[in-house]
Structure 1
Amino acid sequence: MSFNPRLRNWQGRHVWLIGAGHGIGAALAHQLRAAGALLALSGRNEAALRAVAADDAHCLVLPLDVTREQDWLQARGQLLQRWPHIDLVVMLAGDYAAVRAWQLTPELARHMVEVNLLGVMYGTAAVVPALLHQQHGSIALVASAAGWVGMPNGLVYGATKAAVNHFAQTLYLDLRPRGIGVHVVNPGFVATRLTARNDFAMPALISAEQAASAILAGLARGDFDIHFPRRFSLLLKLAAHLPYRLYFWLAHRVTGL
């Protein structure tokens, strides 16, 4: 038995992608469009969104800043004026910076929390009433495998993604009994503009297209926790259950940091 409704046939389904201008979001948009989905694309960069929308006359472009509550409400209102319902909302917007303890600043912490965590909460507050009103639909929150264990360079990013995982678990407990599907997506290293900032070798690095395919496969299975690539994410899941003394030694040994 799956955790959620299995999302397999995308023909005519209404999907709202937030953070769709680049990376995994753009790749997911291309694959969903090819499968017949009707898309709404959101993010801060309107030009990038329109490039992803290309010549798709049915695709809606709704620019927004995820840290602004009013932007969410305005975009939701515009969407519901055009669509009869929403089948799936995917929140992919996020930011990343490699941060060690001695590099932490209040400004950086505030920015990362606002984008990666509060943006997800603001978006959830905006869309859940609509999903409950229509009595169906699903929501997918993109976190990260980096949120499972503490890792060097992930001081703030990992903390925000751990919070998204916790948020998604509680969201599932609240919404699944009411007929709403809830998914959390935990990628490993994916080649995007954000990971291009890393100056270290990234194990099991995959493309944005591979990540998008893994997300669609997880949605088709009805998974709650969609994590990939498995050769990396399963090892991190195991590491999260190690005794701290062993895990801390292993983390330093593997990363060299």
Structure 2
Amino acid sequence: MQSFAPAAGRSRPRSLWLRPLNPPIADWRGLRVWIVGASSGIGEALARELGGRGARLALSARREPPLHALLAQAPAGGLALPLDVTDAEAVRAATARIEREWGGVDLVVWLAGTYSPMRAPQFDLARALAMLDANLHGVLNGLAALIPLLRRQRAGGIALVSSVAGYRGLPKSLAYGPGKAAIINLAETLWLDLAPEGIGVWLVNPGFVDTPLTAANDFAMPGLMQPSEAARAMIDGLERGRFEIHFPRRFTLWMKLLRLLPDRLYFAAVRRFTGL
């Protein structure tokens, strides 16, 4: 099991209050990283970036060919693990294979999910439940398999990718937002439970990123990032040992500020800025 250490050139924090909340990552070479949701968007960009930095990659998504294409470009190689995260047994089997072939895992990045805009007049129960199944229940399937492994290792960690849509209610996020809000709460609770055991828990809250999912949006997306930019921002946060990694900060800091407003002011601000 590789241990994480402060990145080169960064001084060790002197105060308990300044220490990173997670183990900083100094060197990606040889690090065993499982990316769930790696076939497109941020997951694909992250796989390319970490593969180029020498990480050993396990890549999962429902589509298998993109996984092999990404691994062919990774100097350290890795495992292609096609996976439907809504299948708890399949998640357990993939986790068992990683432990069998690698002896463990250093970092899991759970990106798998889906998005479909929805407002109350167009509420569709089947579509809403399918979204929650992929975005939230899939994460729970992963935790059921991974928590025992990470606790046996007493090392490594997991990064859960949520969204700023989970901060507070937003138009068109009637099913997507609640699932992401649950992941934020879940990550905070996990950190409280697992950090004392030396296990890292990261929460990643992206703003708008140019992916096949956001292509469904028919409104202006402030601070829109490219997947490669999002991947580098995520890696920077992992290396620094932050708990919450959010980007682009010029947008997400405003979202955090809105989160603090009283309800009446928050609703008025959202209506004004979205026009909805």
TM over 0.5: yes
The partner residue of 2:59 within 16, 22, 41 is 41
- 1:81 and 2:80 correspond: no
Structure 2 Cα separation of the partners of residues 181 and 104 of structure 1: 37
List alignment gaps of at least 5 residues for structure 2: 1-18
Do the aligned partners of 1:8 and 1:219 also contact (CA within 8 Å) in 2?
A: no
1:12-161 superposed matches below 5 A: 12-56=30-74, 58-161=77-180
Counterpart for residue 196 of structure 2: 177
Structure 1 Cα separation of the partners of residues 190 and 121 of structure 2: 34
Deviation per CA, 1:224-250: give whole Å up to 9, x if none: 100010000000000001011111011
Q: Which has the higher mean CA deviation after the structures are superposed, 198-207 or 52-61?
A: 52-61
How many residues are paired up?
257
Structure 2 Cα separation of the partners of residues 173 and 37 of structure 1: 28
Identity over aligned residues, as a percent? 51
Do the aligned partners of 1:89 and 1:140 also contact (CA within 8 Å) in 2?
A: yes
The partner residue of 2:257 within 238, 248, 253 is 238
The partner residue of 2:266 within 229, 247, 250 is 247
Do the aligned partners of 2:51 and 2:73 also contact (CA within 8 Å) in 1?
A: no
Read off the aligned partner of 1:45 and give its amino acid letter: R
Do the aligned partners of 2:64 and 2:80 also contact (CA within 8 Å) in 1?
A: yes
Counterpart for residue 211 of structure 1: 230
Give the C-alpha shift of residue 54 in structure 1.
2.5
Read off the aligned partner of 1:200 and give its amino acid letter: F
Deviation per CA, 1:104-161: give whole Å up to 9, x if none: 1110111011000010011011111111111100100000011001110111111110
- 1:5 and 2:5 correspond: no
Structure 2 Cα separation of the partners of residues 55 and 117 of structure 1: 31
**TM-score normalised per structure 2:** 0.91
Do the aligned partners of 2:92 and 2:145 also contact (CA within 8 Å) in 1?
A: yes
Structure 1 Cα separation of the partners of residues 22 and 50 of structure 2: 19
Give the C-alpha shift of residue 35 in structure 1.
0.8
Structure 2 Cα separation of the partners of residues 204 and 138 of structure 1: 29
**TM-score normalised per structure 1:** 0.98
Q: Which has the higher mean CA deviation after the structures are superposed, 196-205 or 52-61?
A: 52-61
Aligned alpha-carbon RMSD (Å) = 0.9
Structure 2 Cα separation of the partners of residues 55 and 164 of structure 1: 32
Instruction: Kindly report structure 1 stretches of 4+ aligned residues shifted beyond 2 Å.
Output: 54-58
